[in-house]
Each structure stands twice: as structure tokens, then as C-alpha cells.
Amino acid sequence: MDCDVLVIGAGILGMSTAYHVKLANPGSRVVVVDWFGGPGQGNSAKSEGGFRNLFTSETNFLLADSTIDWMLHLEGELGHHIGVSRIGYLFLLSEEQYSGQRGAWDRIGGRAEMRVLDRGELEERIPALVTRFEEDEEAELLGLRDVDYGVLGVKCGAVDADALTRAYEELFLGLGGEVRYGTEVTGLVLKPEMELEIPGEPFVWQDALIRGAETSGGVIEAETTVVAAGVWSSRLMDPIGVDSHMRPKKRQIFAFKDPRLEPLFHVEGLNEFGTMPLTVLPKSNVLFRPEMSEGSVWMACADDLGRGFSLEDDPQAEEGYYTDDVYHVLSKYFPCFGDVRPMNSWAGHYAINGFDELPVVKSVPGMIYVGAASGSGIMKCDAIGRVAAALHAGKEEAELFGGRRFRVSDLGIHQRRAERETLVI
């Protein structure tokens, strides 16, 4: 078969890109392929689903803020049930942490709605939180910091990542797009621009370009091939000498459901739901959030230093990672987690761009690469899809949801213009 645009990967970035490309080109044939049995079954399905617009990078802010507006529109006006809950995003900080980044917080507060809470208000609002560790030898051994401030992002929260990806699939199919699941892509098809039908083409003296992909269902030729396969993108791009600008890093989530965690669902004054926001602890990048649909709490940790880069096709959560590592920090700040065991756990990967922690959307002849989202693909998915669609159309700027303009080359490589993000978890 052949098509105008072939999208490899039905995760959140692949489906968003496919939708926006098809929307801009109604008469074109756009086909999405994925080796899983449905949309978003790779790392998108394993996401915690948190979203925030609190970023030091203006680029990150634009990508995330417009995507949040789109998600609210998708559920509120278009009627797609994607589980958006603006529970907030709360950073718990020591005096040193808050003061050391005061300039950054001031800049963030100038463009995003946020509240700064002092220790007294935190103790009043969140009785389950321990803010001081005076004469606590174990806390001193762990290097725990007192909690002096909380910075709360108001236009932040969580979304059902699986439902969001399926909403994009529904929109895409409604435009006449095509999907082929259970289809493994084994390689990209490299051809010369002008074929001479000589064995061994393309030769080094020929101008070459990508012309589709080899799959388990046969070769699919395409005018443009979009590689949006997440952490698996390098398996396709490395053999043809194209850099994916990312490396995979394992991330784990542990889910808890226990009556002892009820205080986390009875917190007044931080959001309309009366629950804890998505909360980031001052130590070890430990974070958790309530999952209101099932009355559980999901916990994760961004363990960068010490966690190696590696790719596992079927990653599994490590029980000892929680019990031996994370538990000691989590239960000190929130004693209600004491002796509470996970009811479930799973693991996935972040596609880490170690240079500036920002996505990459770039083109090579016949191909567009969309990836390296560094764990924030869900919260920036719509903007990234619009940027990719604008690149496909040869436009210099993309129009993000709400009308804001974004220079396409800012997410490229050769003319990249993006501030390095410092508020990374």
C-alpha cells in the first residue's frame, strides 16, 4: 500500500500529530501504524497523567499552557470524557529551595496563576504533612529538609492519559484517518530521489530520502513518514544515521488504596475537590497524586542520578525500589503512608532529551521526527502535534490552541531557540 503520510507510533504524540496533519489536509491519506493492539498502549498508557504550566522556560510554558486549554476544551465543549481534574500542582519547598529560585518563581508567577503558601498555611490546610524534623535522627540521616513554603499551580492537575489518546484517535478516524494496530515496523525505507534501478541504491552520490517503512504487513510507501515511536524511535533512526536526541530512562509508579490515606482526600482550600494536589516533596523528586476515580493515590519518583539509561520492551516496577528507597522519604513527610503497601505498580520510560529537557520536532528528507519529550508528552501533546503539522505544511509558525503563535524551528535542531528548563522533575 502507499499513503501521503505514514505515522509510526499511536501514542499520544503520534495520534496528536496524525490528527492535526489530517485536519490540515482533509483529502490526504494519513495512516497510523503501531505494534500494540490499540492507541497509547506503550508509555502513554503508563503515564501518571499530571499536567502543569509552571515552567521556567517560556517555550515549555507555551506548549503546556495551550495544551491544557485544549484538554479543557476537549472535555468541556467537545464532550470527550478524558478525566481532566484541576487538582493543582504543589511544590513543597525548604527556605533554601524557595529563596534560591525566587527569581524563577517570580517569572513563573508573572505568566501562570499560582499561590505561595507559607508553613503556617500548609500546616493548617494539610494536617497530614510534617513540616519540621527537629531532633529526628532518621530525618537527619536521610537529609530531609523542612517544609517552609508551598508553591501551588492553580491551572494544573491530572488527566486520564489513555482516554486522551483515544479521544485523538476518535477525532482522527472521524476525519477519515486510518489506523493499523498489531503492525510492527522493522525499518525505514531509504531511497534515492531519482531511482536508477541499480542494485545497491542509494549510493553516496545520490540524494536520498525516506520513502516509508518496512512492516510486518509489508512495505508501506509514503510521501512523508512521521517517526513518533517514543523511546523506540532510535531503533528505526539509528540504522539510517539520524539522531533521535533522546535516551530512554525507566520510570515507575506505585498505586495505594488504604483507609489510612483518607486524610489526603480531605484537604480544604487547595482545589475545588477537597483533595491533595499533585504534590512534589522537597527531597528526591518524590511526587504523588490522588486518583479520584478509584479513590487511590499514585506515587512516582524522578530518580535521575543513579538510574541508568536503558530500554526494556516490558519494564516492570521494582518492589524494593519503593520499600527500600522511596518509602523512607515519603512516610517521613506524610506519616499516613506508614506501613501502607502498594496495591499495584507498573513501569514505563521517559524519552529524555538531556540537553534542554524540551521536545524535538525536526525534519530530514522525507521524514519528520517527533519525540524526546522528556516525560512531558501528555501535558504538551496538542501543541507538539500542531508544530509537527505546521512543519509538514512547510510553515514557519504553528498556531497553538487559543491563537498563540509558535515558531516551528524553535523545536528543531539547526535553528533551535529554547531556554533550558530548570524546573524538572
CA dihedral (31, 35, 37, 42) in degrees, to 10, reads: -110
Q: What is the pLDDT of residue 400?
A: 98
pLDDT at 303: 84
Long-range contacts of 97-101 (CB under 8 A, 24+ apart): 97/145, 97/149, 97/282, 98/148, 98/149, 98/151, 101/422, 101/423
- Give the chain's domains with CATH numbers: 2-51+162-246+355-411 (3.50.50.60), 89-154+249-349 (3.30.9.10)
What proportions of the chain, in percent to the nearest 5, are helix, strand and coil? 30, 25, 40
The residue among 50, 58, 52, 51 whose CA lies nearest residue 110 is 58
- Output the pLDDT for position 191: 93
Is there a contact between 265 and 296 (Cβ–Cβ < 8 Å)?
A: no
Averages of pLDDT over runs of 10 residues in the chain (425 residues) are 95 98 97 96 92 93 97 96 97 94 90 96 97 93 95 97 97 98 97 86 88 96 97 96 96 96 96 97 93 94 87 91 94 97 96 92 98 95 98 98 97 89 68
Burial class (CB in 10 A: 0-12, 13-18, 19+), 41: middle
The DSSP H or E segment spanning 68 is helix 58-76
In the prediction, which pLDDT does 425 show?
A: 55
pLDDT (0 to 100) of residue 60 = 92
Residue-level pLDDT at 357: 86
C-alpha cell at 88: 493543582
